Chains A and B, each alone.
Chain A
């Protein structure tokens, strides 16, 4: 495999692009549906939970410098566990990617291309990714570090452009559907931080593995600011988020933005940044799928693997027959896959690996001391 070492900024951008895209799609709607008007408070609460998660993760990776979750799995359960974990993550990324593409294509069709078939729209987008991968995956990562900040700034602009329409009354009742929904079941809203899944794979790619902690916390705080800002603006702008709406809530918000008399509908510009972010997101998610696959199979060439996965994703994207199925995937499958895989499985694996490392280390120390004594 070619050596792809990335800088701190590029690493943060990889995490950022995932979140930006999920924010642009259905995530804010799903978050608000869970906790109602208390979502702002819930998001602050979830932000602190995510900080704890990142803190634990960084601590757990301390004994595995320069290794990713696959290497850790191999250490824990041999090659079999490595393959199992790899396949699980490939399936996870492919599923998330397919769902995201389908949602975006569905949204684009509703907004602009009602005459174009979904198959064709999906094909156009995935063909672009295939062309892009002709230039190599390191180029994709570099390009993402341009697009991710632009997309993040675009979200912040959208979030605060409607500040004149904000009404503080809309945060009441401040606890939303209740304290239990806010702090107990609402903790599941941590799925919004799904981009942190990248942290399981990023370590071997870093130029300096000592920067892992810095990257993880910087990314987490940036994501937190973005999520809280966008959720706050949506909650304060709309009296009621229609959960049955087929279009992204941030897009709905952008439709209300007007700058003076001359620019009253700038949502098209929003779509423009959205497309760039989407293409970058697909490339990045595909990069991780391909990286995991190549690590499992030791495939030498990258492009054929990319083409194979593009075909698979194309097929999976077209499987859902209706918008309802897509919405179910987005709201339920995406949410619980995130929680169960990243938070539960990932952390459990890391904890078990650390325990094994501790015992191995202790045993080794004991052997060394016996040898020294002899």
Chain B
């Protein structure tokens, strides 16, 4: 009976099958222009009003104070010369140090003290002269703006703004803004106090004998770290804001007496001509200012080490620091820079050159070895010594796949392990490595999916890829490796030769900020000890010729004067 009723109910009152769905409505705006207008409306007032309430209302609207939880507005009565003025402070909670605001802003302004209760003359006589019995006095009238600035805000960094654009920019940067009734000026007080990461050891560019400091996310901390290493007034650090919305602070650093003026101008030109809403990391900026953005080869060096950045600055390069990014950008860069480790500068030249040689070998192995293996086993077996050839043939006897399938499967598996171990939490990372090694190595061989010799090839390729110091170059080599494998599979050495030729052509075609990518070799310029292999430190007299620096020499011809005192 119940069943009948339920069926009848279903018949007359069908259950609501409507599923909850949400989709964004189509955006009618076709261009970015309208969106931008909403953000920076043309109808917004440009300058600060002398009426406090209007300023407050405008800022409250601008910052959506009714719904925005972290914007604080503190209204109070300001005492000045025994008079009282309405005033308010506006700041972003969490970005300012409340102790600074309480002790060094509100207290001197609100509480009665000697400075703000002194009711001297309204006007002050600056100078006085008597001529023909007429006394001429030069009088300076009382100015509230100057008075507050000079006497009431005991802060080291206070700026006076009259435009709302600057006011908003400073509030967003973590400053505290003071507005006072009757004056059309706002005071930007540096009361930043947000939590930041302390200076730590470099994570990706570790060295044995070198500085153990790394950049942080805060631009001022980073600039100070460079300043500490280069104690010279010629170090210029210029600030530029990037991103129409994010207004990210960037610093362009260069040595005024060393860096080429055209190079500095070019860097600033590129930065000033970026029409973009936001930049949150240096790697994003890198992609926007490099010469050839389609190439997978890195053209700008990035580092987390202040000593490396300082060394490059002293060599005549330009460094860009992006607020919020612990990696700074160095430009221009040539190919050999990406094969240099920060350790090279700290080691004796013999040790550094040995490591550089190893890295150069690693570069060729990681790029060419799998492709050469495919080419040799498919087309040029005569190169392999007979015994080794027999061993390879025997090891592949039970493998049902052709070599190309084997090698691509193994390469992809290796990439998967690498990616997985990077993405998982670090305690599990090692487990993935072990599982991967076991599955890919022993189990795959035992199951006759791959041959043991191939495991060796992939392992060597993988290890050598880790010897490449630059992360981006390593990525490029990983991509190029697949192209070499396919080329080798299709037409053997001819294919690899063709791929290598095209690769060389791409390298030759690249430029980094006007400098040929293969400098100082192609085109050949004076190496001045700044080529791939390093001469002894005392012999590195000149800066790189391709940088056309203002000071070509970095040391005297006889740098060790204690040893050769009589030499010129």
Contact = CB atoms under 8 A, between A and B. Distances in A.
Name the interface size band of chain A: 35 or more
Interface stretch (B104-112, B198-206, B491-499): B491-499
A142 B493 contact: no
Contacts of A108: 494
A112 B380 contact: yes
A116 B508 CA distance: 32
Interface in A220-266: 261-266
A204 interface: no
Given A143-B508, A261-B385, A7 B523 contact: yes
Contact of B504 (A116, A136, A143, A263): A143
A163 interface: no
B379 interface: yes
Contacts of B386: 264
A79 B502 CA distance: 38
A276 B516 contact: no
Contacts of B491: 113, 116, 124
B497 A279 contact: yes
Interface string B502-523: 1011111100000010100111
Contacts, number: 92
A280 to B, nearest CB: 7
Nearest to B495: A124
B517 to A, nearest CB: 10
A265 B382 CA distance: 6
A139 B505 contact: yes
Nearest to A277: B497
Nearest to A258: B385
Contact of A128 (B498, B518, B521): B498
Contacts of B521: 146
Contacts of B382: 265, 267-268
B383 A112 contact: no
Interface in B132-158: none
Given A142-B523, A146-B522, A268-B380, A279 B385 contact: no
A142 B508 contact: yes
Which of B492, B496, B506, B508: most chain A Cβ within 10 A?
B508
Contacts of A263: 383, 385
Most central of B383, B385, B494, B524 by chain A CB within 10 Å: B494
Nearest to A273: B497
Contacts of A112: 379-380, 492-494
B501 A280 contact: yes
B500 interface: yes
Closest 7 CB pairs of A and B: A275-B497, A268-B380, A135-B509, A142-B508, A139-B509, A268-B383, A265-B382
Interface of B: 376, 379-380, 382-383, 385-386, 388, 491-494, 496-498, 500-502, 504-509, 516, 518, 521-524
16 contacts: A9-B524, A108-B494, A113-B494, A116-B491, A124-B491, A132-B501, A132-B505, A135-B505, A135-B509, A139-B505, A139-B508, A145-B522, A266-B383, A275-B501, A276-B497, A279-B497
